[in-house]
């Protein structure tokens, strides 16, 4: 099957038409994510669709397999999430999601009103709102650090997941200085360009160091793939696993990881591999858990966990200083200190 961006867009439109025809609760649908630009990584891609419902949907997310390499990622939102559209301008996720999507369906006059409010006065990309979004992400990162700051003992998948979540928010706090947030597969791949745009190239080695990438090489990471894949497959069938660990997404992750390992920045593959492996390990035990622990030990994320948490604290402090300096350069107030 020959798949192009145009054929994926056609599938998106057909899916929306069929779902909206059979579900009167859907009032709008739009396309977001990478399909609007360059969707392929490792020859795989997903179609990110958002359905807006009159009422709160029973299921917030769904994956629909098209081929082993392509799937539809459906998110569902309630109309009430958009009732204060001007406030969405400060939302680092939903703000960008609604700023420039592709409208595919509308039953009610919904889309134009929300988007007009987001774009009012061309303020969305100006420093006050940009910094508000960055500081929101920084706050999320700090909250996850707080949960870990008094943790003692050897961390398990739950603690490593929370640590990575803090790093994820920190990376995107930098990314939003120059554009929309970056998602999991491309997080480290796109980081250098986003850091350069923010005039903060030093955050790249800092993030890699906090992840432990300076302790391994591409061959070692490649050697983990078999154990990662085995854990992923078992976790897909295990109750309670994160919704993102889904059979339709196996190639989406695996082929992207392999492509990154063969690319110019091979250790950028570390994020999607460890991120999904940690999700899988949250519901697994035995050898699957031990193999994950071995990889984390190689990265210094278990025996040296408290040192990493302390390093994360320092990194978040540096980001806060960066945002305060940027605010001052634009004549804006610094964010009040949290006293942490």
**In the CATH scheme, what is the homologous superfamily, with its name and number, of domain 5-122?**
Beta Polymerase, domain 2 (3.30.460.10)
Other CB atoms within 10 Å distance of the CB of residue 73: 20
C-alpha to C-alpha distances, 81 to 49, 86, 231, nearest whole angstrom:
16, 12, 36
Torsion sign (Cα): 207, 208, 211, 212: negative
pLDDT of the residue at 338: 41
pLDDT of the residue at 215: 96
Cβ neighbors of 336 (< 8 A, separation 6 or more) are none
Domain residue extents for the chain: 5-122, 127-320
pLDDT of the residue at 340: 37
pLDDT of the residue at 7: 87
Entry pTM: 0.93
pLDDT of the residue at 182: 94
Consecutive 10-residue averages of pLDDT for the chain (340 residues): 79 93 94 78 93 93 94 95 89 92 88 86 89 97 95 94 98 95 95 95 96 97 98 97 97 98 97 98 98 97 94 97 94 59
Cβ neighbors of 230 (< 8 A, separation 6 or more) are 288
pLDDT of the residue at 301: 96
Other CB atoms within 10 Å distance of the CB of residue 232: 24
pLDDT of the residue at 21: 92
CA gap 52, 28 in Å, rounded: 5
pLDDT of the residue at 337: 43
Average of per-residue pLDDT values in the chain: 93
Give the 3-state DSSP-derived string for 227-270, with helices as H, strands as E and coil as C. HHHHHHHHHHCCCCCCCCCCHHHHHHHHHHHHHHHCCCCHHHHH
CA gap 40, 42 in Å, rounded: 6
């Amino acid at each position: 099957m020959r798949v192009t961006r145009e054929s994926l867009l056609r599938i998106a439109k057909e899916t929306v038409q069929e779902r909206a025809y059979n579900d009167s609760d859907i009032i709008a649908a739009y396309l977001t994510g990478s399909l609007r630009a360059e969707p392929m990584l490792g020859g795989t891609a997903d179609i990110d669709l958002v359905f807006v419902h009159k009422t709160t949907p029973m299921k917030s997310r769904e994956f629909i397999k098209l081929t082993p390499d392509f799937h539809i990622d459906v998110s569902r939102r309630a109309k009430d999430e958009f009732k204060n559209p001007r406030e969405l301008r400060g939302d680092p996720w939903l703000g960008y999601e609604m700023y420039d999507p592709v409208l595919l369906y509308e039953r009610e006059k919904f889309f134009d009103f929300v988007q007009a409010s987001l774009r009012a006065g061309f303020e969305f990309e100006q420093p006050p709102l940009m910094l508000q979004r960055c500081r929101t992400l920084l706050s999320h990162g700090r909250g996850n650090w707080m949960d870990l700051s008094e943790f003692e003992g050897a961390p398990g998948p739950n603690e490593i997941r929370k640590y990575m979540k803090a790093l994820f928010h920190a990376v995107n706090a930098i990314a939003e200085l120059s554009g929309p947030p970056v998602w999991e597969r491309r997080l480290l791949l796109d980081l250098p360009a986003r850091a350069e745009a923010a005039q903060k190239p030093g955050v790249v080695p800092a993030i890699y160091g906090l992840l432990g990438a300076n302790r391994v090489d591409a061959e070692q990471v490649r050697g983990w793939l078999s154990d990662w894949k085995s854990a992923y497959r078992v976790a897909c069938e295990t109750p309670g696993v994160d919704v993102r660990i889904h059979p339709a997404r196996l190639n989406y992750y695996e082929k992207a990881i392999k492509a990154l390992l063969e690319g110019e920045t091979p250790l950028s593959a570390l994020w999607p591999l460890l991120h999904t492996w940690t999700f899988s390990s949250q519901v697994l035990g035995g050898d699957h858990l031990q193999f994950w622990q071995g990889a984390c030990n190689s990265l210094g994320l278990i025996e040296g966990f408290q040192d990493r948490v302390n390093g994360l604290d320092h990194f978040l402090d540096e980001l806060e200083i960066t945002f305060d300096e940027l605010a001052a350069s634009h004549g804006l107030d610094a964010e009040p200190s949290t006293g942490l």
